[in-house]
Structure 1
Amino acid sequence: MLAGGPSYAKSDNKVPFLNRYAATHAYAPRGFRRPRDGVRAPGRGLRRRADPRVWAASVCTALSPWRTEIGTLTTRTQQQMTAKTTPAQAKENLVRLLGGAESASETAREQVQKAGVPDVDGGESVAKGFLRSLTAVRDAYGKAKQGIEQLDAGQADPFYDGVQSVMNTLTSEYNRSALDTSALDSEELKQAFDEVPECR
């Protein structure tokens, strides 16, 4: 089954798209660097059974743009944290960027949920694993956004100390949301991920 865990797929996973999905954790927030100058239940709605190839195509269609958007948002967030801006400007920009990551994750989660359940043995566990991971990612970004919103930008040093604490928590929670694909034991589903054009 797929489930959230401390790490993504192991290197011997032979499902190329799943490995690319696992690589999303390369976008995990890095350690904060101060500028030099200054829950919804994830398993609901999983009733429709889908052909494995159709399901894999739907999941890949949802996750491919999500990975790209999360990567872009994370890069911009890291740039913002090292930019020469006032604390107030940094706060506004970080809240917007983290909110964008939260929204993108929720959109992907909704699309994966709409895909239903792959019609294979253990299909419901597979689908729920994807949803658990995306739900946890969404919630991690949402919590980080709220954390930044609550910081007082009136004084630079306390503000940036607070930002560092929020981002450290985000990194930890993001890593815990990891999707473990190493136990995916449906050959039919593996083949579907490997062959459908949407997953290449």
Structure 2
Amino acid sequence: MRTPRMVSCTAVLTSLVLFLAACGGGATPQVWASEVCQALGPWRTEISTLTARAQQQMSAETTPTAAKENLARLFEGAKDASETARAGVEAAGVPDVDDGEKVAQGFLISLSGVRDAYDKALQGIQALDTSQAGAFYSGVEQVVTTLDSEYDKTALDTSSLQSEELREAFDQVPECR
């Protein structure tokens, strides 16, 4: 015969198991991929736009002071966009797949590296002296070369994802197309 106390204990245990199960699992691969792509979509667009503007700035006939201001604004925008994307990926949590924590951390580390590369480029541009155009533009070239190198080091190769579920999710969810 079940006593009220047994029923109460069973209900508490059932609730606890359901709570722990909910806390233990991450987002489904489809939900996680969708949220990650929603965070990365605007970032990709912004980075492409800023890169095009930076290339225009590099080839435009302008004063070193104006170029410095424009490049600083562009690098700051890229840094901020990268941080916004990183925060969005962080908010997506961890996918409920094998090595989900490792996958999520890989994305976060990559975006942090990109953000930091743009921040370093911003600091490099801000440190340049604009009094001599030749020296300034040589400095800009060095800053951009360093940015390219650091950006390449932080690249995340999503083709190496070990989870078939995540690969399929990234191929299937509309936000990733």
1:192 CA drift (Å) = 1.3
Q: Indicate how the Cα distance of structure 1 residues 162 and 92 shifts in structure 2: closer, same or farther if over 3 A, else same.
A: same
- How many residue pairs end up in the alignment? 154
Larger fraction in strand? 1
2:156 partner SS: strand
Among 63, 73, 95, the residue aligned to 1:86: 63
What TM-score do you get using the length of structure 2 for normalisation?
Answer: 0.84
Is contact 1:48–1:116 with CA below 8 Å preserved after alignment?
A: no
Amino acid at match of 1:195: Q
Q: Deviations over 1:107-126 (max 9, x none)?
A: 00000000000000011111
Secondary structure of the structure 1 residue equivalent to 2:159: coil
Asked whether the equivalents of residues 137 and 174 of structure 1 are also in contact (C-alpha less than 8 Å), the reply is yes
Which whole-Å deviations, capped at 9, do the CAs of 1:80-109 have from their partners, x for residues lacking one? 011010000000000000100000000000
Identity of aligned residues (%): 66
The Cα shift of 1:164 comes to: 1.0
1:184 is matched with which residue: 144, 151, 161?
Answer: 161
SS at match of 1:117: coil
What RMSD over aligned residues (CA atoms) do the two structures have, in Å? 1.3
* Cα distance in structure 2, aligned partners of 1:80 and 1:162: 14
Structure with greater helix share of residues: 2
1:195 deviation in Å? 1.4
Unaligned stretches of 5+ residues in structure 2: 1-23
Residue in 2 that maps onto 1:71: 48
CA distance in 2, matches of 1:49, 1:91: 44
Using the size of structure 1 for normalisation, the TM-score is: 0.74
Partner of 1:140: 117
> 2:90 aligned with 1:113, yes or no?
yes
State yes or no: 1:51 paired with 2:44. Answer: no
Counterpart pick for 1:129 among 98, 103, 106: 106
Consecutive unaligned residues in structure 1, runs of 5 or more: 1-46
Give how far 1:169 is off. Answer: 0.6
